[in-house]
Amino acid sequence: MAAAAATSSFPSTTPRARARTSSCSVQSLASPRSAALRVNAEPAPAFQSVTAFAPATVANLGPGFDFLGCAVADASLSLGDTVTATLDPTLPPATVSIASVTSPSRPHLAARLSKDPLRNCAGVAALAALRALGVRSHAVAIHLTKGLPLGSGLGSSAASAAAAAKAVDALFGSRLARDDLVLAGLESEKAVSGFHADNIAPAILGGFVLVRSYDPFHLVPLASPPGLRLHFVLVTPDFEAPTSKMRAALPKEVAVQQHVRNSSQAAALVAAVLQGDAGLIGAAMSSDGIVEPTRAPLIPGMAAVKAAALRAGALGCTISGAGPTAVAVIDGEEQGEEVARRMVDAFWSAGKLKATATVAQLDRQGARVIATSAL
Mean pLDDT of 98-113: 88
Looking at 25-29, 88-92, 217-221, 251-255, which range is the least confident one?
Answer: 25-29
- Give pLDDT, residue 193: 65
226-267 tens-digit pLDDT:
999 899 999 999 998 777 788 888 999 999 999 999 999 999
Mean pLDDT of 39-58: 93
Q: Is residue 34 predicted with pLDDT exceeding 60? A: no
Residue of 106, 121, 102 lying closest to 160 (CA atoms): 121
Q: Quickly state the pLDDT bin for 107 (edges 50, 70, 90).
A: confident
To the nearest whole number, what is the mean pLDDT of the chain? 89
Instruction: Give yes or no for a contact between 161 and 196, defined as CB atoms under 8 angstroms apart.
Output: no
Q: Is residue 100 predicted with pLDDT exceeding 50? A: yes
Distance CA 133, CA 88 (A): 17
Domains and CATH numbers, the chain: 11-222 (3.30.230.10), 230-362 (3.30.70.890)
Q: Quickly state the pLDDT bin for 295 (edges 50, 70, 90).
A: very high
- Give pLDDT, residue 109: 80
Distance CA 191, CA 5 (A): 13
Question: Angle formed by the axes of helices 156-171 and 178-193, to 10°?
Answer: 140
Residue of 81, 113, 118 lying closest to 100 (CA atoms): 113
- Give pLDDT, residue 31: 42
6-25 tens-digit pLDDT:
322 223 333 333 333 455 55
Instruction: Give yes or no for a contact between 190 and 167, defined as CB atoms under 8 angstroms apart.
Output: no
Q: Is residue 40 predicted with pLDDT exceeding 90? A: no
Please name the helix (run of DSSP H) or strand (run of DSSP E) that holds residue 268, with its range, or none. Answer: helix 256-275
pTM of the model: 0.88
Distance CA 124, CA 190 (A): 10
